[in-house]
Amino acid sequence: MPNISIIYFSGTGHTTKLAEAAQKGAASVAGVTTRLIVISGEDIVKGRYHNEAVFAELDSSDAIIFGSPTYMGGPAAQFKAFADATGGKWFAGAWRDKLAAGFTISQGASGDKLSTLHYLFTLAMQLGMVWIGLPELPMNDQGINRLSSYSGVMAQAGQESPDIAPNAADKRTAELLGQRVAQYAVKLKK
């Protein structure tokens, strides 16, 4: 049974909401298991991330969805510390052929969020993964993909409580990404 892991960093709880939505979407597909894995600052010592249990979980996943807020035009340093720790997986080709996808969030409409998604893609490519994007057109009544992003999910949140932002449309967009990744995981596992 294919497993979909969502690994993310959240500074204020907003990214957590997107991660949960992506998991919900993945879990809606019959025949998959899902895992929600948070990157904890506690696991980062002098800028280096260490957590063998997390890597064991990811090693056994068929798909990994990466999530991070966009801070100063790129992924959060905490996410990047995790990414840097995948160097051994790169060298061993250990994650080759796993599926990958990504989501990010920041206050502004654009806010250089594409820079973060392009980074998540670049990371996945170094790891030999296959990238699943977001093929939803923004022209719809539900606000799905309202920011018009295709490489992955973009959402918005500022100082509001995570109960309010990201909004329902942004969470629904993340759900659709999770669902799409899970559907591909099922198809490729056969």
Which pairs with CB-CB distance under 8 Å and at least 24 residues apart come from 173-176?
Answer: 173/134, 173/136, 173/144, 173/145, 173/146, 174/18, 174/19, 174/21, 174/22, 174/25, 174/103, 175/21, 175/22, 175/24, 175/25, 175/28, 176/25, 176/134, 176/136, 176/144
CB closer to a second copy, 19 vs 119: 119
Which residues of the shown chain bind a second copy in the complex (CB under 8 A)?
41-42, 44, 46-49, 71-78, 80-81, 83-84, 86-87, 90-91, 93, 96-97, 106-115, 118-119, 121-135, 137-138, 146-151, 154, 184, 187-188, 190
- What SS3 class is residue 179? helix
Asked whether the beta carbons of 100 and 149 are under 8 A apart, the reply is: no
Output the smallest distance, CB 170 to a second copy, in A.
12
Output the smallest distance, CB 187 to a second copy, in A.
6
CB closer to a second copy, 111 vs 162: 111
- As a whole number of angstroms, the distance between CA 189 and CA 50 comes to 30
CB closer to a second copy, 59 vs 97: 97
Output the smallest distance, CB 141 to a second copy, in A.
16
Number of CB atoms found within 10 A of residue 5's CB: 23
CB closer to a second copy, 19 vs 85: 85
Nearest to 16 by CA among 7, 28, 25: 7
Which strand (E) or helix (H) includes residue 17?
Answer: helix 14-27
CB closer to a second copy, 30 vs 137: 137
Output the smallest distance, CB 106 to a second copy, in A.
8
Output the smallest distance, CB 71 to a second copy, in A.
5
Output the smallest distance, CB 142 to a second copy, in A.
16
CB closer to a second copy, 36 vs 44: 44
